[in-house]
Structures are given as C-alpha cells and as structure tokens.
Amino acid sequence: MTASHLFGCALAAALIMAQCVLPTSSVQRGTSSNDDFLRFKSVPDKVAHGSVAHVQYRCSQPCRLDVELVESTLQETEPPVFRRKWSSNKSHQVRRIHQALLRFPPSLVYRRSFFNQHVVQTQNVTLSAWIRYFNDGNTSSTHRPSKMKISKVLQITPLSERPATPPAECPSWPAELIWHISKHRVYQCPQESDQINLLPFPLASTGERFGVVRRFKPFINRDLERARLHAVAQPSVAFSVWFYLLEWCQKETCGIIHHVDRENSYASILMMLTDKGDLRIQAHLGSGEDEAFEVSVGFPLRKWIRLDCDIKDTQMHLRTTWGHKTRSHIYRFPDSVHFDDLDGFFVIGGSKYIEGIHGYYVNFKYYRLGTKQVENQLHPKATLKKLHHTHCACQEIKRFTAAYLQEVRKSHQGTKKGVCVPPFLTLWGRFGRRTCRQTWSWNTQRRHSTLFHFLTTQEKQLRAGSRGRRSSLLFHQAVGRMFNLDQPNITITSEVIALLQVSSCFGNHQASLLLATIHLAGLGKSVDQQKGHIYSLIGAAGDDRFALMHAGYKHTHGIDGFPEDLGMAYSYYVNVGAQSIADGLKIHEDTQYSPEHIYLSNKEDLNSVTDETGDAFRFLKYQAEGGDAEAQRQLATLLYWGHNGIIKDTTSAMKWFAKSAMHMGDPSAMYDYSILLIKGQGVKRNVTLGFQLLEKAATMGSISALNGLGWYHGIIRKDHRTAMKYFKEAALKGNEEGMYNLGVYYLSGKDPDSPWRDEMAAFQLFMNASSHGHIGASVEAARFLAMGNLDGVPQDLEEAVLLLTMVCELNGHLGYLIREALHDYLHGSWHEALVKYALAAETGLGLAQSNLAHLCEEQNLSDDCQWRYHNHSILHHDPHPSALLKMGDYFLDSSSQKGDSLSLVGRAILMYSGAALAGSPQGMYNLLLLAEQGYVLPPGTQDLFDVSDHKDVDKLVENILLSSSNHMER
C-alpha cells in the first residue's frame, strides 16, 4: 500500500479545466534559408509523466533547439516546469529528429498524498519548441529572438482522476508510527464530483413562487476546493437544464434559476423567461455592478427545450436546443463575472422573489469548475416523451370538444330558426347515421370514442355547463364504473382510464391523482410506475392541493419510484402551505371542514359521529334554547365549523353566537362574535359593537381578545404602536396568533419604535407559534429553514418539510374530502368511500391510509392494498397505534413463512414497541407474549416497563401486565 493510499482520499471528482486553443505551429521569418523548418512529429495530447515528444527540424547554420513546458495558472507569472536544450555548431542540410522525454513535477501529475503535499492548480500546460541561431558564437545569450517557434496545449488530467504517487520512497519512521497509531481514525473522504445533477427527477412547476432550493458546500477535497476558490473572481462554470412550457410566462419575467446571496440580493446567475418567450440573463460582476442582457429565442410551448450556459471569466456562451436545431449566443460582460456558489442559495423555478415557469424542469446539470463539453441527455427519456404525448393528446381532446360544442350550439340555433342542422356529430357506419359535415377523420374519432360517446349522451348538461362541470361529470362516471356492486372488487377498464384521462385534460386533477394512484398502487391494474409518475406530475403542475401533497409525500420518503429529495418535497409542500393560509380565510365555506380523526376500526370514534337528528345534538339545542350561554356557544361552534358530522349552517351559527355573547358572561363567546361583527362575516358589519365586545372580553381575561385588539388597531385603525403593545402582551401570555402577528411586524419593519427588519426575532416568534399549530407561522418558519440564509439558522429541510406536512394535514379541503369519505362509509357507499380515502391516503395522511387499509380488509380486497397502506401509514410523523399493530402482525405472520424469521420478528417487536410507547394495551400484551418466548425487547421499551435487565423476564411480564391493565382502565 502506497503512502498516498495511507494518507489520501479516494475521490472520483471530474475536474475539467478550461484550455486555450493555440496554433500547433508558429513560424517567424528571419535571415535563414527558406528550407529551415521546425515541427512536432509526434507529441502527447495529455500531461503524462515520462511521455515522449519528437521534434523534427533543420538548421542552415549553427543553432540550438529548446523544448519547454510552461504551466498557465491564475497568477500573473507563468513558470516553466520543464526545459531541455540541444546545441549544434554545424549547419544541417538534412532533417533531424530529437526525442524529448517529458518530465512533469508531481504537483502536476499526481493527486495529493503524504509525499505530494503541494498540488498545483493549473489552467493548462503548453509545450513549446524553438530554434535559436548562433550568429556570434554566444550560446548563453537569452536576448536573441527565436527564428522559429512552435507550441501545443496539452490537456490537464482532472485533479480527482490523477493517479497516486508511485511508491518510490517510504515514509519516515515517525510518520509511519503516527499512521499506525491513528489508522483507525483516518477519515475517508466520500466520493465527490464537480459535476452535479441538481434535478435528476422531473419537477412540476405551477408558475408561482415555489421552487427547489439548493445550497452548496465547500469541496472536501482540498485541491478541488482550491480550484473553486481561485475561480470565484474569474469563474469557469456551466449549467444545463431541460424544461417544458405549458403556458407563456404570465408576468414580465419568470425564473428558470436564480441565485440569492447572503444579503438577499440577486447574485450570479439569474436566468429568466420573458413574457415574449425570450431569455433574460443577469450577472453580478467583479466591479460590484450588475449587468443584464436579453436574447431573442422565442421558446415554443409543449416541447422539451435544453438550455446550456457556459461562463468563462467575462464571456457567457448560451445554447438553446429544441427539435433538431441548436441556436448559439455569445455575450461579453465589461468585467469578470463574480460567481461564488457558497454565498447564499440557488432556486430552480420560483421563490418569494420571483415566479417560476408553468411547466416542468428536469436534468439540471451544474459543472462547478466548468467543462469542455456539456453532457446532458434527456432522462428518463421514455417517461418524458410520454408526458409530452399526454399533453399533446389533451390539446387534441380540447379542440375536439370545443368543435363539437360549437356544432351543438349551431345545431340548437338552427333548429330554432327552422334550419336543418344535425343535432350532433357521429361516425358514418358506427351509429348508422351520416352527418351533414364530417369535421373529424375516422382515426381522430376512433381515438376518442369514449369522449365522443360521453359528448353525445351528455349533450344537454354540457351545453349548459362549464369546463369544470364537464370534468366533474366525467370523473364521477369513471368512478361509478370502477366497481361492480354485486362483487367486492375494483375493475379498471380502458373506458374508465379514458374517462379519467379526459377529466384530467379538462382540469380535474383529482382525476390525475386517481390515475396516478391506480398505476402506482396497482388498484385494479398492474403497477406501472412510469404512467403513475406522468399523472402525478400533471396533477402537481395543475396546482391541485392533493396532487401537490402527493408529490411532496413521495419525495419525502422516496417511495413508488420517486427519489428521496427533501428539496423537491419542500417545493410542493410550501405551495400547499400558502394555499392553506388562503383557505383559512374561507374556512367557513361549505367546501371546507376542519379535519377530524375518525378511525373506521375504532367503534368509539364512529359512535362519536352524529348529525342533526342525533340525541346529543338535540339535547345541546334544547339547552341552548333554554338560555344556557355555554350550550349556545357550543352549538354555534358546531354549526359554524361543522364538527362531529354536523352540516355547516353559518346563518344559524351567527344567531347562537350573538345570543351567547350578549349574556356578557363568557369572554370566549364575546371574542368570537366580536371578530365576526368587525369583519362582517355572516352578519351585518358593526365595527363599534364589535370593538366594545372585544375590549370587554380582554378585560375579562381573554388572551385571544388581546390579539384581536392588536389586529383591530393595526388593520382598522392603522395605529401600529398600539397594535404592537397588544400583540406583545398576547404573545407573552402564550397566544400563537399574537406571536405570529408580532413576527410579521418584526419581519416587515413596521414597529414604530424599531423601524427596521429583525428577521431573527421574527423567526423565533414564528417557530414558537408553529409549535402551537399556527399555519401561517409554520409556513414562514419553514421558508427560513429551507433557505438557510439567516445567520445562526442553518438550512434544515427535514424540519421545514415536517412543519409544512403538519400544515397540509390541517387543510380544510382535505378535511372536507375525508368527511365525505366517512359519510359515504356510514351510509353504505363503500366504493365511494374507498376512492376518497385513496385520494387522501396518497397525500400522506396517516388517518386516510389506516382507514383505506381497513376498507381493503373489510371488503376482502387484495392483501397488497391492505399492507401497502398500513406500511405507508407508519411513515407518518406520528403513526397511529392501530397501524403499528397491523404491521407488527404482518411481520410476525410472515416470519413463519420466510427464512429470515429472526429479522422479521425483530421488525414485529419494533412495531409493537411503537404501539406500546403510544399507550396501546394490545401492543403491550403482544410484547409480553414475545418476551415470554425469550425475545429481547428494545431498550426504550424496557425503560417503559421499568426493567433494566432484559433477562429478568418475570419482572418484565409482571410490569407489562400492570401497565396494560392501567391503560385499559383509562
């Protein structure tokens, strides 16, 4: 083993340095004979120690041949690293060949090692040869001009690809002793490369301010890091990306990629798409100025476009490719581009600073140290081509439908006027009738026969409805045909797929998500991940909440063929988080309900569900009508939010809110009603009465009312000093709304006493409020964590994704979906419930996954369906004990059928332990049985039962039984 192996790092980075293209020969005319010449007969192309260069020449008078190697670095001087000379005092009339054995210093040839500590960062190496003539016999003169000179640039071997130093010497005894002492502590560097694919899997972009955040770290390899640092002022970097436009940019510019520095300003590089389909580039120069230019390219819609950008010092080379044509553009900046990829973060797509495109990105290659040639093939090609064909088919379907509806309208108008126009279009020979106008070819109508049949049978509804109405009709028809009510199974026919595809084309992305679920989960069909990915991307690009959550969930855990990528997960989840903030302002609408956790396997949960005819609701209403203020407030809350299965009735809720508040005895009721009065939400607006009730509630001890007073003074009165006073008081007393509002003031710099932005104070308040479940605060805190641009707050995408996941699970539209699923289940429509639970389960909601698995088990559907969703539910940040128990049973049953039974039993113990730690008596009992059989329980479970020695089985069993009985009594 060589010393370089002992002390070096085995790296596989590809450092490709820029090389200047010089002429292979250069002849200077002089006084010699015209027959004199000098050329390289053979010369290596790369720097290689011990390689040979053959120089052929002829001198008509005494001369000296010099061969020299010069390294070109980022420094001003260019030192020679090799020089040889051959002198002749005679003239030569014949050609002569000299063989030069090239010797390079280890700093140029080998990687860093114990014996090669100094590795040179080189731009290129130039091999030169020249002839000097002896006119006066002074062979030592260096001031005489060369008569002839030739040169060639040799390619540099990338630092990480250089070989180790040959074992020509041994380390000293002290060095070897130190190595033997510390050899088990030598850190082995992971493989790293300067070529990074920032986006190996397609990203769906909705054209909004949500993109993938990427931050970079210094190279671990010191040679690569030195090269990067040298290139900050005179960069040599390259980017290459594929993107697909579904719509033109709706703003003046849309971001493709942008770099935000530590000061939250644009840095190099900023690449944008204009509203005219052109390209705008901006860079930060070494002079401190920003320089921008625009390239007229006219990007097309619905084509995969490749954009390459190569930056070398002051020059930027752009190449755009779609179809079979490549367009090239070169721009020179007035000064060197300043490029430091450790300063701040990069965003692919949109962020809080700029919108992204509406379409897709994929294969974003970044060459941190530049490259001679960009290698970026479209991958995965089959999936992306299919995605393109799907969008093209949608365009054809839309044109087909628009033309059909136009014919229907003409037909309807013609019938009124007595003009003979056919009422609908059909195929000659297919339905036995011939139309007056055959608008489409046979192939077109054959391809869309399902749509054609739907249009002809739903003509009346379509003529009066919107596109949303059409897509909804198609979706419900497809769902209705998925099930055979006589048999408990799922049937996915080509007609069902066609109806869902058309519904997806018309913008119903619940249909897109259902298609993705069918293909990924194998519901009624074999698993086809490629098709599943296509419809996942289509749904996410359509800005559907559930499809976005679905994509975020898959990337968080790396399941169903989606790579584990928290950056991509964040880009999807933060979109839903922003929508959840907007949804929260309309939570009183009938299409939104607060999510309620009702498990189908839990009879107590099911018994808690009631409706307006239930005894509990009737008794509460009886108490409220009798004047009980607390019953009035509870009744108002039930009707306003629609809890416990009650249908929302905001009008009745307002009446009970008013009655409860006017008792002037319950500060919570007074606060609720005061806010509704000030906003005019469900009642006639009365700011004066609302303010009076708000003040009264605050004096009676309502912390929420303190925050309400801050909101009133800040929003209504524009008195920010008073607003800050109330927000601080509410925040200090633990009100999450007060914390959030105070954080917003710090973030915007609206505090009259401190009129500047205090991001750290805002972040801390947002984090505190998010721990109480505040949606807006969680979204803002996640932004800070994802960007990592705040001093003292490093990037933490895992925490950001967790915060946003919890926000998304509180979304009112998701609450409405699982409420409808529960309603269908309780009324016997299990197939409708299954579809709705399946859609919710694919968003990552553990409740829906558990309930879907229960339905699959209850209806005797495939075991794959049951175990798939039980398995997914334990990935939840707070898995339900019932899911853990089910997975424990699954592993324990499988252990008796498979060879690796010990491993499976161990996994079962982990599942039961998780359930036991969550307080499940069944989990405790299952652990007791396994402990009696001699299996060792995890340390965490032993601590739960106060047993330090796993061999003390009797005490363990006794404590488990005691804990289990205590939990059952509770």
**pLDDT: which is higher, 617 or 4:** 617
Identify the pLDDT of residue 142: 43
Looking at the DSSP bridge assignments, the partners of residue 326 are 321
Residues 905 and 889: their CA atoms lie apart, in Å, by 10
Tell me the average pLDDT across 586-594.
Answer: 86
The average confidence (pLDDT) of the chain is 82
Determine contact, residues 296/331, Cβ cutoff 8 Å: no
Q: Which has the closest alpha carbon to 126: 164, 73, 87?
A: 73
Q: What is the DSSP string of 42-81?
A: E--SB--TT-EEEEEEE-SSSEEEEEEEEEE-SSS---EE
Q: Does the pLDDT of residue 25 top 60, yes or no? A: no
Exposure string of 334-372, with b = 16+ CB inside 10 Å and e = fewer, is eebbbbbbebbbbbbbbbeebbbbbbbbbbbbbbbbbbe
Tell me the average pLDDT across 853-861.
Answer: 88
Tell me the average pLDDT across 18-29.
Answer: 32
Identify the pLDDT of residue 422: 41
pLDDT classification of 917: cutoffs 50, 70, 90: confident
Max alpha carbon distance in the chain (Å)?
A: 128
pLDDT digits (tens, 9 = 90+) for 694-729: 999 999 999 999 999 999 999 999 999 999 999 999
Q: Does the pLDDT of residue 170 top 90, yes or no? A: no
Domain 197-214+235-362 in CATH 2.60.200.20: no
Alpha helices in 490-565 (DSSP H): 494-505, 509-521, 529-541, 545-557
Residues 84 and 67: their CA atoms lie apart, in Å, by 5
Identify the pLDDT of residue 755: 86
pLDDT digits (tens, 9 = 90+) for 248-266: 999 999 999 999 999 999 9
Q: Does the pLDDT of residue 950 top 70, yes or no? A: no
Q: Which two three-digit tokens encode residue 576?
A: 């839903």
Determine contact, residues 316/281, Cβ cutoff 8 Å: yes
What's the number of CA atoms in the CB half-sphere (13 Å) around residue 658?
A: 14
pLDDT digits (tens, 9 = 90+) for 800-826: 999 999 999 999 999 999 999 999 999
pLDDT classification of 945: cutoffs 50, 70, 90: low
Residues 451 and 457: their CA atoms lie apart, in Å, by 10
Residues 637 and 627: their CA atoms lie apart, in Å, by 16
3-class secondary structure, 234: coil
Domain ranges of the chain: 19-157, 197-214+235-362, 384-542, 594-647+649-687, 702-757, 811-879, 883-970
Report the top-level CATH class of 19-157: mainly beta
Residues 653 and 751: their CA atoms lie apart, in Å, by 37
Q: Does the pLDDT of residue 427 top 50, yes or no? A: no
pLDDT digits (tens, 9 = 90+) for 469-490: 778 888 988 888 888 766 667 8
Residues 349 and 355: their CA atoms lie apart, in Å, by 7
Q: Which helix (H) or strand (E) is 923 found in, with range?
A: helix 921-932
Alpha helices in 268-373 (DSSP H): none
Q: Give the contacts of 143 (CB within 8 A, at least 6 positions apart).
A: none
Identify the pLDDT of residue 694: 94
Residues 145 and 147: their CA atoms lie apart, in Å, by 6
**pLDDT: which is higher, 969 or 342:** 342
pLDDT classification of 940: cutoffs 50, 70, 90: low
Identify the pLDDT of residue 958: 60
Q: Does the pLDDT of residue 77 top 60, yes or no? A: no
- Residue percentage of the chain with pLDDT more than 70: 81
3-class secondary structure, 32: coil
pLDDT digits (tens, 9 = 90+) for 775-802: 999 999 999 999 999 998 999 999 999 9
Q: Worst-scoring range by mean pLDDT, 8-17, 196-205, 526-535, 710-719?
A: 8-17
pLDDT classification of 144: cutoffs 50, 70, 90: very low
Determine contact, residues 908/947, Cβ cutoff 8 Å: no
Identify the pLDDT of residue 878: 86
Which amino acid is it at 361?
Y
- Residue percentage of the chain with pLDDT more than 90: 43
Identify the pLDDT of residue 693: 92
For residue 380, cis peptide bond before it (omega within 30 degrees of 0):
yes
Report the top-level CATH class of 811-879: mainly alpha
Q: What is the DSSP string of 802-871?
A: HHHHHHHTT-HHHHHHHHHHHHHHHTT-HHHHHHHHHHHHTTT-HHHHHHHHHHHHHTT--HHHHHHHHH
Q: Which has the closest alpha carbon to 489: 825, 820, 826, 834?
A: 834
pLDDT digits (tens, 9 = 90+) for 117-129: 667 666 678 888 8
Q: Give the contacts of 691 (CB within 8 A, at least 6 positions apart).
A: 674, 678, 712
pLDDT digits (tens, 9 = 90+) for 443-454: 766 777 787 777
Residues 853 and 470: their CA atoms lie apart, in Å, by 31
Determine contact, residues 225/345, Cβ cutoff 8 Å: no
Identify the pLDDT of residue 650: 84
Residue 935's φ and ψ, nearest 5 degrees, are: -80, 145
Residues 541 and 388: their CA atoms lie apart, in Å, by 13
Identify the pLDDT of residue 941: 67
**pLDDT: which is higher, 176 or 551:** 551
Identify the pLDDT of residue 480: 86
Residues 673 and 708: their CA atoms lie apart, in Å, by 12
- Torsion, Cα 467 471 474 479, to 10 degrees, reads -160
Q: Which helix (H) or strand (E) is 721 found in, with range?
A: helix 720-732
Q: 284: burial class by Cβ within 10 Å (0-12, 13-18, 19+)?
A: buried
3-class secondary structure, 311: strand
Q: Does the pLDDT of residue 676 top 80, yes or no? A: yes
Q: Which has the closest alpha carbon to 817: 619, 643, 489, 594?
A: 594
Q: Does the pLDDT of residue 175 top 90, yes or no? A: no
Q: Worst-scoring range by mean pLDDT, 117-131, 341-355, 393-407, 786-800?
A: 117-131
Q: Does the pLDDT of residue 111 top 90, yes or no? A: no
3-class secondary structure, 10: coil
pLDDT digits (tens, 9 = 90+) for 613-644: 888 888 888 998 888 888 988 888 888 888 88
Q: Give the contacts of 130 (CB within 8 A, at least 6 positions apart).
A: 38, 65, 66, 146, 147, 148, 149, 150
Q: What is the DSSP string of 585-615?
A: TTTTSTT--------TT-HHHHHH---TTSH
Residues 820 and 826: their CA atoms lie apart, in Å, by 10
Q: In terms of pTM, does the model score above 0.95?
A: no
Q: Which two three-digit tokens encode residue 840?
A: 């919710």
